[in-house]
Structure 1
Amino acid sequence: MSSPATSGDREKVVSKLPGWLRQNLKIRAAQHGIEIQAAVEQGITAWCRLASATADVDTAGADSFSTFLPPGQWEEFRRTASDRRASLIQGLAQSVQLWLDTNPAPDIERPTVTRRIIVCNQKGGVGKTAITAGVGEALAEDPNRLHAVRVAKALTKALRASETHAGDDEPNEQNDPLDIENLPGLGLRVLLVDFDPQCHLTNQLGASPLAMNGDSLTNHMAGDPKGDLRDLIVSVDDDTFDGRLHLLPACNDAFLLDVRLSAVRAREAALERALTPLEADYDVILVDCPPSLGLSMDAAAYYGRRRDGEKPGQSGALVVVQAEDSSADAYELLTTQIEDLRNDLQVDIDYLGIVVNLYDSRRGFIATSSLQGWVDIKDPRVVGLIGDLKEQKEAVRMKEPLLSYAPKSQQAIGMRALAREIA
């Protein structure tokens, strides 16, 4: 059935499709970055041009499906279906399936050089671990499923929203439904490295810290490995991430890392020497750094430097802060250390951006003015604003990844937006 209701110069068409086929169409259209109506139009055009109908499609349980087609196409389709003695439902299903068959899911675009993201701040308690995990999870999500993503990029809108909703029960930063879009997962192979002796990332994701008398990243960095570093890696929630998300757990021996590094030749390159053998297995490696300005932070910053042949902004430092004054002091200390390392070693260390974490506009002027202060820096720019909501705390308590525990939460939606900002 068609009606004069239009979308542009198109006419509205109402028919039926089985739910599984409609979902496949929705995902594949998103993967190719086109509208569903354009995919259906292409499928019908191709089907009508065939010499005969294709194989029957199981249309059991088909329910209402509407789209917009160019004027006259539906009538041509009806005539073709009649000539082939196919029902309109069957003909439409064959057309959609034909488009799916001729437009397979695109290959994942993988970086030519493994990206290295150093998540850092000298100040503890700002949520570096949560951001490391959330970004890694978002990068590794299933490319054959749709996930809610916040697509608004202008943080000025978030500032206005935070003021408007300051009296609400929950923070509402960037929480406008019009800003949410369902997009395929990025499907990248991700390694999370817990580089903090406190083992927060390891514990939050439900893994066990490495034994003090066994092998560890610290041993490999200090030149005293006891085995292959790959043997220490664990997979994170394969039901959700299908083997794409891995973790290198921490060990408490990292408290001694700076002491051990002091006796290591070219100690700035110690982390790189340890992790380079793993890079061929991953598209992105994220390092959850300790709240420290010691030798371990030098090694992390050096690992995130821009390599020969690597584009600016592919690897580098992602700085996590809060909208309060002490984060600004810590930020100055961190950037000073990175700048000193740049000058001393003559390397390029890019800033991937600032993430304002645990934001709650109900905290008043300190929070809103501090957020504006971060936005005003501009270089590096603010690339993420994550609210202080209960789901992250609950996920930590349950020792589950946030994007598995609460995939539709505002924090999960914000993590996906952040991952795409720096992807």
Structure 2
Amino acid sequence: MSSPSGDREKVVSKIPVALQLDLKIRAAQHGIDIQHAVEAGIEAWLGLGSNLAPIDTSGAKSFSTFLPPGQWDRFRGDCASRGVSIIQGLAQSVQMWLETNPAPTVVRPEHPKRVVVCNQKGGVGKTAITAGTGEALAEDSNQLHPVRISKHFAAALSEDDTDSPLDYEDLPGLGLRVLLVDFDPQCHLTKQLGQDPLPLEGDSLTKHMAGESKGQLRDLIVPIEDPRFGDRLHLLPACTDAFLLDVKLSGVRAREAALERALSAVEDEYDAILIDCPPSLGLSMDAAAYYGRRRPGEAPGNSGVLVVVQAEDSSADAYGLLTSQIEDLRNDMHLELDYLGIVVNHYDARRGYIATSSLESWMDIKDPRVVGVIGDLKEQKEAVRVKQPLLAYSPRCDQSVGMRALAREIS
């Protein structure tokens, strides 16, 4: 059956559920509507000189789409003349389109994206943003994941004073190879992801930066195991010896490049490296900022500093101190150090005027601009309690979809 709808007509039939899912994912991967994919598949099927091998259509479920006027009638006539059922012909058409439009490969960046997540104020949620953004970058590109900007961010960006959230959009994962670096001696990132801090008597990132390493840095890296990340999400755990890092760096030659020297051994294995910085303005922060600088031939905005703040006054004070240090580094060392943006974390409009007016103040900063607003919701706290990645623990919660939006803003 069919019914008119604009310049296309609605058609209803059946195809196997697995084929429907493959079609939905593949169309999203190629950035086209399902109706255009089906249209192309039917047109290719109509042009065949002979019948294809039958497809198992047992358990086929209802499927509807919109096709150009007349195409469905031609298709049904061709099915009848070939002795093929409409369900079988449609399944073959969809399968033809899938075979001639394979899943695109993930584009690997020429330079690994280096994201320095920082703020010298503790408690703003740098660790949660580092983990969530890295998880979103690493999600399976052959699966669809819900993405949208949180309603608070949407309302703040909108010229209309609306509180309605944007609709979810199911998009393929970004499929990048990601390394999360726990650069904080408190080891929060390490513990939140269910890993143990490195032992004091063993090797560590601090020892590699200080020239005291005992082995290969890659031997310290551990995978974050979950099917949605495949083998694409890894962690370099922290060690409490990082409390001594500033002291050790004071005696290291070209100390600002110490982090880069340490990570250079593994850089080629990753598409994105995220540094969870300590709440500090010391030498370790200098090394992290230097690592995030724009390298020769690297596009502006590929790497840089991602500043995490909260919608309250003390975050603004800390932000001023951090940006002053970054400007000093830029000037003293002639660095091209880009801001990737500001993330307003733990936002809750129910906290009233202080929260809403503070968010407006952050939004008024146009350079760097706000690239994400993440709500203060229970799922993140629960994920930390059970030591699981947020996007694996609650993949459809508001914080998860916000993390995916943030990852796309900076990728």
Q: What range is the shorter-chain TM-score in?
A: over 0.9
Counterpart for residue 40 of structure 2: 42
2:210 corresponds in structure 1 to: 222
Could you tell me which residue of structure 2 aligns to residue 54 of structure 1?
52
What are the Cα deviations for residues 294-313 of structure 1, in whole angstroms up to 9, with x where unaligned? 00000000000000000000
Structure 2 gap ranges (5+): none
Aligned equivalent of 2:102: 104
Task: Provide, for residues 262-301 of structure 1, a one-character-per-residue CA deviation record: whole Å limited to 9, x for no partner.
Answer: 0000000000000011111000000000000000000000
Deviation at 1:409, TM superposition (A): 0.1
Q: Select 1:95's aligned residue among 87, 93, 96.
A: 93
Q: What corresponds to 1:263 in structure 2? A: 251
Partner of 1:249: 237
CA shift, 1:240, in A, is 2.4
**Deviation digits for residues 150-188 of structure 1, max 9, x if unmatched?**
0589946247799876xxxxxxxxx62x43100000000
Which residue in 1 is equivalent to 2:400? 412
Cα distance change on mapping 1:15 and 1:80 into 2, 3 Å? same
Say if 2:377 is the partner of 1:379. Answer: no
Structure 2 CA distance for aligned equivalents of residues 212 and 277 of structure 1:
22
CA distance in 2, matches of 1:156, 1:57: 45
Matches within 5 A, 1:3-402: 3-4=3-4, 6=5, 8-150=6-148, 155=153, 157-158=155-156, 176=165, 178-402=166-390
Does the 8 Å CA contact 2:150/2:398 hold for their aligned counterparts?
Answer: no
Q: Distance between the aligned counterparts of 1:160 and 1:81, measured in 2?
A: 50
Hey, what's the Cα distance between the residues in 2 that align with 1:66 and 1:282?
41
Q: Give the distance between the partners of 1:161 and 1:393, measured in 2 at CA.
A: 33
Amino acid at match of 1:396: V
Question: For the residues of structure 2 that align with 1:63 and 1:350, how far apart are their CA atoms?
Answer: 51
**Local SS of the residue matching 2:227:** helix
Determine the C-alpha separation between the residues in 1 that align with 2:344 and 2:159: 15
Q: Which amino acid aligns with 1:46?
A: A
Conserved? CA contact 2:375–2:399, under 8 Å = yes
Deviation at 1:382?
A: 0.1
Cα separation, 1, equivalents of 2:126 and 2:150: 23
Matching residue's letter, 1:131: I
Residues 230-264 of structure 1, C-alpha deviations (whole Å, 9 max, x = no match): 00000002322110000000000000000000000
- Taking a change above 3 Å as real, the CA distance of residues 298 and 153 of structure 1, as seen in their structure-2 partners, is farther
Paired AA for residue 94 in structure 1: Q
1:210 deviation in Å? 0.1
Could you tell me which residue of structure 1 aligns to residue 2 of structure 2? Answer: 2
Instruction: Give me the whole-angstrom Cα distance separating, in 2, the residues matched to 1:239 and 1:287.
Output: 23
**TM-score normalized with structure 2 length:** 0.98
Moved more, 105-114 or 245-254: 105-114
**Seq. identity, %:** 72
Q: Between 59-68 and 130-139, report the one with greater CA deviation.
A: 59-68
Q: Which amino acid aligns with 2:188?
A: H
* 1:159–1:368 CA contact under 8 A, matched in 2: no
Listed as ranges, the gaps of 5+ residues in structure 1 are 166-174
CA RMSD of aligned residues (A): 1.6
- The runs of at least 4 aligned residues of structure 1 exceeding 3 Å deviation read 151-156, 158-165
Query: Does the CA-based 8 Å contact 1:140-1:189 persist in structure 2?
Result: yes
Amino acid at match of 1:362: R
Shift of 1:417: 0.2
For the residue of structure 2 that corresponds to 1:318, the secondary structure is strand
Matching residue's letter, 1:413: V
Relative to structure 2, which stretch is displaced further, 263-272 or 235-244?
235-244
- Report the Cα offset of residue 355 of structure 1: 0.1
Q: Give the Cα–Cα distance (whole angstroms) in 1 for the partners of residues 182 and 100 of structure 2.
A: 43
The one-letter amino acid of 1:203's match is K
Counterpart of 2:371, as a letter, is V
| Deviation (angstroms), 1:55 | 1.8
Aligned in 2, Cα 1:48/1:156: closer, same or farther, shift over 3 Å? closer
